[in-house]
Amino acid sequence: MVRSLVTGLCLAVFAAVIIGLSNLLGLDLEHVALLGAALGGVLGLVPHRPAWGKVAGFLAGFLLAWLGFALRAAVLPDSSAGRAVAAFVVVALIAVVAAVSGGRLPLWSGLLGAASIVGAYESVYTNAPSQFLTESPAAATTVLLAVGLGYLATNLLAAQSEPHASARPRPAVDARRTERAQRDQRDDSSSTTDLDDLVTGAAQ
């Protein structure tokens, strides 16, 4: 409970920092501050091994969704049918990437990456589809910055709270040691029984 509270407060601070950076540097980050911080926090909090896999999956989904906007701008009509085709293609390709990677690039992180660019750019694209080449790079970089700060916040906390490798329990090693001790104990008991039988036989 305490860790969840601390993590949430840290993400809140980073969201405020993103908005502050937007005003200070003249960046258009205000409308994606909460979106980016939240998605970056989810990306950092959900465990996955290898750790780079979820980041790579996020970037793959982000890129595929961005290409989906390019497909809509270049080929597909600006209608419900065009948006449906683009959504189908993007999600299907993300699923293919996750399957081909053998789970190293998880499906959920790819969908998270697609959601980030869609959330940051969909309304801008709807207002000016013809401005894709000039508007989409700005939207992509701003939301990636926000996501990166959110991811950094959660990973810094995880690194501080994670126990040292030497202090972590090793269930497999402990199980082997217990089994070896029980086997040695049985061998000692068997040897003692054999010795007692030998002594008893000699006495008779």
Written as tens digits, the pLDDT of the chain (204 aa) is 666 777 677 777 777 777 776 666 565 666 777 788 788 888 888 888 888 889 999 999 999 999 999 999 888 888 888 889 999 999 999 999 999 988 899 999 999 999 999 988 888 888 888 888 888 888 888 888 888 888 887 776 655 444 444 444 455 555 666 677 666 666 555 555 554 554 455 445
126 and 193 belong to one structural domain: no
Name the residue range of residue 194's domain.
170-203
Question: Model's pTM, two decimal places?
Answer: 0.69
By the 10 Å C-beta count (0-12 exposed, 13-18 middle, 19+ buried), 61 is classed as: buried
Total structural domains within the chain: 2
149 and 179 belong to one structural domain: no
72 and 103 belong to one structural domain: yes
21 and 37 belong to one structural domain: yes
105 and 153 belong to one structural domain: yes
Own/partner contacts of 11-18, CB < 8 Å, gap of 24 or more, are 11/37, 11/38, 11/41, 11/150, 11/153, 11/154, 12/37, 13/153, 14/149, 14/150, 14/152, 14/153, 15/150, 17/149, 18/145, 18/146, 18/149
189 and 117 belong to one structural domain: no
154 and 174 belong to one structural domain: no
Preceding omega of 47 cis (within 30 degrees of 0): no
106 and 191 belong to one structural domain: no
Of the candidates 147, 150, 53, the residue with the CA atom closest to the CA atom of residue 108: 53
